[in-house]
Structures are given as structure tokens and as C-alpha cells.
A and B are shown apart, each in its own frame.
Chain A
Amino acid sequence: MSAPVTSIPTSNGSKKRTQTEPAAVRWLLISIALVFLTLFLALPLFAVFTQAFEKGLTVHLEALKEPDTLSSIKLTLITAAVTVPLNLFFGVTAAWAIAKFSFPGKNLLITLIDLPFSVSPVISGLIYVLIFGLQGWLGPWLQAHDIRIVFAVPGIILATIFVTFPFVARELIPLMEAQGKEEEEAALVLGASGLQTFFRVTLPNVKWGIIYGVILCNARAMGEFGAVSVVSGHIRGMTNTVPLHVEILYNEYNYTAAFAVASLLAFLALITLAVKTVAEWKVRQQLDNN
């Protein structure tokens, strides 16, 4: 009565493989892969930080304390603070409808939810210009009422919502599908209400999936460049997000400042990767416990 009796084989990794390539081939392949990854991934990452601190910590901090930089950081934080909760709410809602129920047109709906991923970021920005811009559908009306959407903060937020739209949903849908609805049914049989079932049974089971989706959604929301670039209008200190500010500094040949600001985003990327790795591991664990 001590050790758990049943253990579910989790992944093939736990089993010993007898079938493999000769050691020399193995190490050759590993080396090629590592050289490729170093050249393409590790080197750029390393370069960001090196360039950022090239002229020392003081210069680095000076660049970050610049008012335009601070205002771009503020705008990026606002954008993420609006975008992420909205898409999180949407993702959970969509996943509940799609994963726990069956209805005609389900696959089409999933494809449509994924659509923003296959649209070029430039087009993601353009469509809002076409609707809200001066020459757009609602342009004249908006101007008459003195409402600015394009080349202003609302446009930036809209474009960001569009490009980060699928993140939470596409992570949660397969996860909730894999977990089935037996536990929810069990909760209902035991007398739980719909909301009790969701908060006490469903949510804890997909917790790490949500974290995974949110962290990726956030990374993209803070880092989006193309779509935001189209709708922002590049007004310094007003409609510049951090990535746009990096572009301006770089184009002004102010490399140290550009990389200093870029290093903030790179640091965010590293945190994202770390949380993502943990979340992935947890999700896997949760599914294996099934």
C-alpha cells in the first residue's frame, strides 16, 4: 500500500532504445544541429545583449530613461493590458464551446479562429486603416465626431488584438478536448452548478494551458511590429510602442540606444521561453495523468 501501483507509460523517452545510429553518426548529427542553432538562434540572442551593454551600464540605463522610451514602454504595457485579458476571455469561451460540445461547422470555426496567424501582419494593420482611416468606411463619420482610431492608441490595440487573437484559444481547444467531459459530468452529477463546475473542475485542469497561451499572447502583443507599424502613424512619444521605438532609434543610427531598448524585449522573450517551457512540461504531465 505504499507505491502507486498503476503507472502510465508517459513518453517514449522513458523506454530504453536499442535501435539507434552508430555513435559517430550520432555525434555528427548533434554537432551539425548545434552549429546551425548557434549560428541562427544563440548568436543573435547573445548579440542583442552584447550590443546593448557595449558602452557600459550607465549609457544603457540613460537610453532607457529617455522620456520617449518611457512613453513607448507605457503604451506597450497598456496595449498588452487590454489585449491579453480580452483574448484570454475569448479563448476560454471559444474552447468551452468547441471542446465540450459538438455542432456542425466546428472545423470551419477552428480554421477561422486560426486565420489571423496566416495573414501577413502588414495586412492585419491595413484592414483597420481601411475601416477607420480617413479614406475608410467609418473615416468621415469618425472625423465628424472627432474620434481617432487609426494613428492613435485604439488602432494599435485593435491591430494587436487581431494578431494575438488565436493564441489562448488554439492552446486550450486541443487540451480541453483531450481531457474530455467526464470530470465535468461527474461534478454535475454531484450537484455542482455550471459555474462551480467550470471554476472548480475545468479551470484547474487547464491552468497551465492558459498560462502557456497567455504568455505567448503577451509576448506577441508586446513585440508586434508590422501590424502596429501600419496603424500607428509613428508619432514619437504618442503612438510609439517599444518595437516601433527600436526601429526609430536604429534608423537614426543610435545603435546603442536601439539595442538597449531591444534588450528589454529580448529579456521578455527569455522569460517567455522559460515560462513556456515550464507550462509545456506541466501540461504534458497533466495529460499523462489522464
Chain B
Amino acid sequence: MGIEIENIHKQFGAFSALGDVSLSIPSGELVALLGPSGCGKTTLLRIIAGLETPDSGRILFNGEDTTRSHVRERRVGFVFQHYALFRHMTVFDNVAFGLNVRPRQTRPSKEEISEKVMKLLRLVQLENMASRYPSQLSGGQRQRIALARALAVEPQVLLLDEPFGALDAQVRAELRRWLRRLHDEIHVTSVFVTHDQEEALEVADRIVVMNRGKIEQAGTPDEVYEQPATAFVLNFLGNVNLFHGRKSQRQTQQGGQPADANVSGGVDDTQAVAYVRSHDIEIERSRQDATALKAEIRHIQKLGPAVRVTLAIEESGEFLEAELTRDVYQNLGLQQGEQVFVRPRQVRVFVEDYQI
């Protein structure tokens, strides 16, 4: 089922949580709302669910206006950040809740409910936990039960608020892959909120990057990563280096479009900022061409498979961070204090006063 979000506004007192947000979510996709905390992503999710009411704007489910319909009637599945499992009920009763509260006419029989619950517990691989209480489960298990509970009512849309936020790194990575596989299996339109770019890039079909109550960019993971629409998007997805008002780069992109490096044409120098991702910086022993800059290695930090090199550019004194693979690093045999040449592979220039 497709969701249309049209011109949603939401104000909390003096704070504008969402300002004129419009978005279209195609049926069957897994969409990530990505952004820093306070950017309005959770508010948007809660508005889609019907847990909050927008001040203006509309939410359409399959072309039908649901803005004023109650959360009960929307048939959404919602997985809360802290799961909101019913503490006094067993895992089984938690999953069965949505079926048990149906009016008598539409409520399935006890056997049907039991069968369905067990099927869902098998789906989330927790069938032997049916009689446990939430407090006896690990974080990852609670997460999966919350998901099973949401799926039990056969929702038209599945909404997940920071689904992996409260888990430790390993369980998180595991559940991420599992969620992706599960979505490929059941294909229900899903929206999840996250502040973790890696998570969004790995799991989602589409990523919606949000900042300060507005959508910065919506697109496939490749699109938002390769062709960031704004400096914010570029910054939020990966480590970047900044060059203020520099003109020496050759190959740059402006707003995703290739442009001449001498950005001075039509653009005020003081406003233009060039961005280079740290793994887009090449380090060379000798100057290959004119784009290379002379720099001194100030610090080398080994981070597992990667190596982070901090360099000071001779000309401007600015600091740069380059990320190399261990192979490249070993082949070059870099040492602290050495003079090398750095060459940005890809530079993007944005004309705005965005500050990190």
C-alpha cells in the first residue's frame, strides 16, 4: 500500500517540528527516515501512524485521506523505540493482544489465534519463548516480539521507531540483516526511523534524509550517497573534509552536477565550501599532476581494517583526514612527519552557509 504525505506541518509550542513536509512512499518499499535527533523524523512517523495529529496537511493511504481517522482504524503496525511490550503479559499474550481485542464478530477463534501467534513466533524465531515475560528476554528478543506483535494484526503499513536504537552493536547488525530478509519475504510497506546512516544505507530501499523539520533529499541509497542534494546530506552520510573558498580542484560537482572547479564564476568565494569524503583522498609519494597538494602527515590511527591519516596542508595549514585501506597504507609505508602529496578524487561544492 502506498502512502502520500502532503504538506504536513507540526508545531510544538514555539518549536516547529515539521515544516511543509511532502513525501510519497511507494507500495511494498522499505523506507528509512534518516536524520539527527530532533529533526522531526519520529514526529513524522507518529503522524503517519495516527499517534499525533498534524496541524495542517494530509496523509493518504492508497489515495484515501486518513488524516482524521483514529489510530485504531488505520491498520498500521507500530514498533516502538523501547518496544512498549505489555509487561504483565507473556510473549504469547503480547502477540495475541491485537487479535484478542477485536469485537466478538470479527475476532478469530482461540485456536486460530493460537495458530497465528505460533506462526508469527516461528517467523521471528522465538517459538520456544511463548510463555516467557518480556522482562525475561534480551533486547534483541524483545525487539523481535514487538515486531511479531505488530504483524499479528496484518497491518497495511509497518512503522518502526529507531528499531535497533537500544541494542548493542553486534545484535544490531544481525537484526538489521534479518529485518531486510523479513521484508523481502512479506513485502509490507515499511517505514523506519534511524539516526544511523550505515543502518539506512544497508537496509532501506529508499532513504529520506531529514534535518530541522524538512526533507533534505529522498532517493535510493546510491542516489543520496553518490549525488547528495545538499551539504547536509553529504555530511550526514560519511566523514568529510571541508575546504573553504579554495579554487585549486579540477573535478568538482555542484549540487550533484559536474561543474568546473573554478567555482568563482557566478559564485561568491567566501560562501563556497568544497567537501571531500575522507576515503576519496588519495595519498601519493610524488606529485602526479597539478591537483595534488603538498602535505605533512601529523597522525596515523589504525581502525581495524582501515587507517585514518591526519594531514596538514602546507599551503593553507588546514587539516585533512584521509581514510585508507590497510593494503594501501602498507604499500605506501607512511610514517608520521613525512611529506606526501594528497589528491582529492571527488570534490563537491555547495553554495550555502551550512555549518558542521
Q: How far is the CB of B50 from chain A (nearest CB, A)?
A: 8
Do A190 and B87 have beta carbons less than 8 Å apart?
no
Do A183 and B84 have beta carbons less than 8 Å apart?
yes
**Given known A-B contacts A192-B72, A192-B97, A193-B72, A186 and B84 have beta carbons under 8 A apart:** yes
Do B51 and A193 have beta carbons less than 8 Å apart?
no
Do A4 and B101 have beta carbons less than 8 Å apart?
no
Is there a chain A Cβ closer than 8 Å to B255's Cβ?
A: no
Do A186 and B101 have beta carbons less than 8 Å apart?
no
Q: How far is the CB of B264 from chain A (nearest CB, A)?
A: 53
Give the CA-CA distance A8 to B80 in the complex, in Å.
19
- Chain A residue at smallest Cβ distance from B70: A188
Do B101 and A190 have beta carbons less than 8 Å apart?
yes
Do B139 and A191 have beta carbons less than 8 Å apart?
no
Do A182 and B80 have beta carbons less than 8 Å apart?
yes
Is there a chain B Cβ closer than 8 Å to A28's Cβ?
A: no
Do B101 and A193 have beta carbons less than 8 Å apart?
yes
Give the CA-CA distance A201 to B136 in the complex, in Å.
19
Is there a chain B Cβ closer than 8 Å to A185's Cβ?
A: yes
**Given known A-B contacts A185-B51, A189-B51, A190-B149, A205 and B138 have beta carbons under 8 A apart:** no
Is there a chain A Cβ closer than 8 Å to B68's Cβ?
A: no
Is there a chain A Cβ closer than 8 Å to B76's Cβ?
A: yes
Q: How far is the CB of B349 from chain A (nearest CB, A)?
A: 45
Do A6 and B72 have beta carbons less than 8 Å apart?
no
Do B139 and A6 have beta carbons less than 8 Å apart?
yes
Do B88 and A4 have beta carbons less than 8 Å apart?
no
Q: How many A-B residue pairs have CB under 8 A?
A: 78
Cβ–Cβ < 8 Å partners of B97 in chain A: 187, 190, 192, 200
Is there a chain B Cβ closer than 8 Å to A44's Cβ?
A: no
Is there a chain B Cβ closer than 8 Å to A272's Cβ?
A: no
Do A196 and B101 have beta carbons less than 8 Å apart?
yes
Do B135 and A289 have beta carbons less than 8 Å apart?
yes
Do A191 and B87 have beta carbons less than 8 Å apart?
no
Is there a chain A Cβ closer than 8 Å to B82's Cβ?
A: yes
Do A286 and B87 have beta carbons less than 8 Å apart?
yes
Number of interface residues of A (CB under 8 A): 23
Is there a chain B Cβ closer than 8 Å to A174's Cβ?
A: no
Cβ–Cβ < 8 Å partners of B149 in chain A: 186, 190
Do A189 and B71 have beta carbons less than 8 Å apart?
yes
Render B127-157 as a binary contact track against A, CB cut-off 8 A, 1 for contact: 0100000111111010000000110110000
Give the CA-CA distance A208 to B144 in the complex, in Å.
29
Give the CA-CA distance A71 to B51 in the complex, in Å.
55
Within 8 A of B (CB), among A103-158: none
Cβ–Cβ < 8 Å partners of B228 in chain A: none
Render A157-200 as a binary contact track against B, CB cut-off 8 A, 1 for contact: 00000000000000000000000001101111111110010001
Is there a chain B Cβ closer than 8 Å to A204's Cβ?
A: yes
Q: How far is the CB of A280 from chain B (nearest CB, A)?
A: 18
Is there a chain B Cβ closer than 8 Å to A24's Cβ?
A: no
Is there a chain A Cβ closer than 8 Å to B78's Cβ?
A: yes
Do B51 and A191 have beta carbons less than 8 Å apart?
no
Q: Which of A5, A189, A204 contacts B88 (CB 8 A)?
A: A204
- Chain A residue at smallest Cβ distance from B73: A191
Is there a chain A Cβ closer than 8 Å to B319's Cβ?
A: no
Do A205 and B88 have beta carbons less than 8 Å apart?
yes
Do B86 and A191 have beta carbons less than 8 Å apart?
no
**Given known A-B contacts A4-B135, A191-B153, A286-B87, A185 and B80 have beta carbons under 8 A apart:** yes
Is there a chain A Cβ closer than 8 Å to B2's Cβ?
A: no
Is there a chain A Cβ closer than 8 Å to B163's Cβ?
A: no
Give the CA-CA distance A204 to B88 in the complex, in Å.
7
Render B102-143 as a binary contact track against A, CB cut-off 8 A, 1 for contact: 100000000000000000000000001000001111110100
Q: How far is the CB of A221 from chain B (nearest CB, A)?
A: 29
- Chain B residue at smallest Cβ distance from A203: B88
**Given known A-B contacts A190-B153, A196-B101, A4 and B137 have beta carbons under 8 A apart:** yes
Do A188 and B71 have beta carbons less than 8 Å apart?
yes
Instruction: Pick from A5, A187, A190, A196 the residue with the most CB of B within 10 Å.
Output: A190
Is there a chain A Cβ closer than 8 Å to B276's Cβ?
A: no
Give the CA-CA distance A55 to B103 in the complex, in Å.
64
Do B49 and A189 have beta carbons less than 8 Å apart?
yes
Give the CA-CA distance A189 to B80 in the complex, in Å.
11
- Chain A residue at smallest Cβ distance from B152: A190
27 A-B residue pairings within 8 Å (CB atoms): A4-B136, A4-B137, A5-B139, A6-B138, A6-B139, A182-B84, A185-B51, A185-B78, A185-B84, A186-B80, A186-B84, A186-B86, A187-B97, A188-B71, A189-B77, A189-B78, A189-B150, A190-B149, A190-B150, A191-B72, A191-B102, A192-B97, A192-B98, A196-B101, A200-B97, A204-B86, A205-B87
Beyond A186-B149, A190-B152, A191-B153, 15 additional contacts (C-beta under 8 Å) are A4-B138, A5-B139, A5-B141, A6-B138, A183-B85, A186-B80, A189-B49, A189-B72, A189-B76, A189-B77, A189-B78, A190-B150, A191-B72, A200-B97, A289-B135
Chain A residues within 8 Å of B, Cβ to Cβ: 1, 4-6, 182-183, 185-193, 196, 200-201, 204-205, 286, 289-290
